Amino acid sequence: MNFHAIRSIYMFEINRTLRTLFQSIASPVLSTSLYFIVFGSAIGGRMATIDGVSYGAFIVPGLILLTILTESVSNASFGIYLPRFTGTIYELLSAPVSVVEVLCGYVGAAATKSIVLGLIILATARLFVSFDIAHPIWMIGFLALTAVTFCLFGFILGVWADGFEKLQIVPLMIISPLTFLGGTFYSIDMLPPPWRTVALFNPIVYLVNGFRWAFYDIADVAVGVSLAMTLVFLVVCVCVIAWIFKTGYRLRT
């Protein structure tokens, strides 16, 4: 195990984030604040409570996840795509590192950023609405698990993409719609029966559900199922990445 390499890659990525601090932190915080103002305060005030939770508080976990998912995918994909694009990847490929060091470095840094971002948004949300967290340890656990999983997914995207367009299109056209339709702003119980079944095929539903349970102890589907689905997705991502490194797909000719 090459710990110096992990530290180098990790710090390189963290420094890249710090260089673009405003874009990295300020813009997601700003957009989340706008959601709270519009949905939480303006519209939410006219809405009934859901399972005994005020609407403003109800959307907090979903909104945090919305940011975590899109930011995790963008950051992790960009982190590995950028060296591929500029050609500096030659150094990583010629270095005495395996998939383990590469993942710990790139995915670890991207996930760290996502988790910090999630906590900042949580603190921001607290300024707009009041809420209590029922299971704080589980909340952090789900946050970390989701961040790591989607950073792994982002890493795959960054290896697969052969242009900036593909890099942006996946978070924009796939992750965002799935998150919006995954119960970020509503409980899937509010959907008519056929749509409720359709929604269960959306993996984001399980993430939002588990995360919301950690906050308010309410859930549309069993929390165990949420946890299992997230872990399955994580394992699938790890297997795909292991395959990428084994075959050299899009990395080594």
Partner 1 sequence: MESIVAVSNLEKTYASGFRALKSINLEIRKGEIFALLGPNGAGKTTLIGVICGLVRPTAGTVVADGHDISKDYRAARATIGLVPQETATDMFEKVWDTVSFSRGLFGFPPDPAHIERVLRDLSLWDKRDSKIAALSGGMKRRVLIAKALAHEPRILFLDEPTAGVDVELRRDMWAMVRRLREQGVTIILTTHYIEEAEEMADRIGVINKGEIILVEEKQALMRRLGKTKVTIGLKQPIASPPAAARGAQLALSPDGLTLTFTQSGEGADEDGGVAELLKQLAADGVDFKSINTERSSLEDIFVDLVGNVP
What are the residues binding partner 1 (CB under 8 A)? 2, 4-5, 7-9, 11-12, 15-16, 19, 83, 86-88, 90-98, 248, 252-253
Q: How far is the CB of 15 from partner 1 (least distance, A)?
A: 7
Nearer to partner 1, 5 or 66 (CB): 5
Nearer to partner 1, 95 or 178 (CB): 95
Nearer to partner 1, 71 or 101 (CB): 101
Nearer to partner 1, 83 or 141 (CB): 83
**Could you give the CA distance from residue 160 to residue 193 in angstroms, rounded to a whole number?**
37
Q: How far is the CB of 212 from partner 1 (least distance, A)?
A: 39
Q: How far is the CB of 22 from partner 1 (least distance, A)?
A: 15
Pick from 233, 232, 208: nearest CA to 219: 208
Q: How far is the CB of 37 from partner 1 (least distance, A)?
A: 34
Instruction: Find where tokens 């995954």 sit.
Output: 182
**Could you give the CA distance from residue 187 to residue 124 in angstroms, rounded to a whole number?**
23
Residue burial 164-197, b: 16+ Cβ < 10 Å; e: rest: eeebeebbeeebbebbebbbbbbbbeebeeeeee
Pick from 171, 183, 241: nearest CA to 58: 183
